[in-house]
Amino acid sequence: MSTYKDLMVWKKSYEFCLLVYGITAYFPKEELQGSGAELETQILIARDLGYIKEKEYTELNLLLNSVMKMLTVFIQKLSTSNQ
């Protein structure tokens, strides 16, 4: 690994960010912040309010869950290696 950009978790997170930026371009600004769990709730609300379609919701939700799992494992490995 040369840089953090070589990490799969970074690549998936970047992919997720690109999707979020594209889909949320016209969302109210106060809705565009938060943790993974808050994002999960926000995209559910966005779907239910008709801001995004079911297909977009499914894609975002799957990618977000993938990134959150990768980050959890990454943090655990960092914690273990620092002990």
pLDDT at 1: 63
Q: The tokens of 18 are what?
A: 């690109």
Residues 82, 78: Cα–Cα separation, whole Å: 6
Residues 56-77 have a mean pLDDT of: 88
Q: What percent of the chain has pLDDT over 90?
A: 10
Residues 66, 60: Cα–Cα separation, whole Å: 10
pLDDT at 16: 82
68's CB contacts (< 8 A; 6+ apart) are: 36
Looking at residue 31, the DSSP 8-state letter turns out to be G
Residues 5, 58: Cα–Cα separation, whole Å: 26
Residues 39, 17: Cα–Cα separation, whole Å: 11
Does residue 36 carry a pLDDT above 80?
Answer: no
Does residue 26 carry a pLDDT above 80?
Answer: no
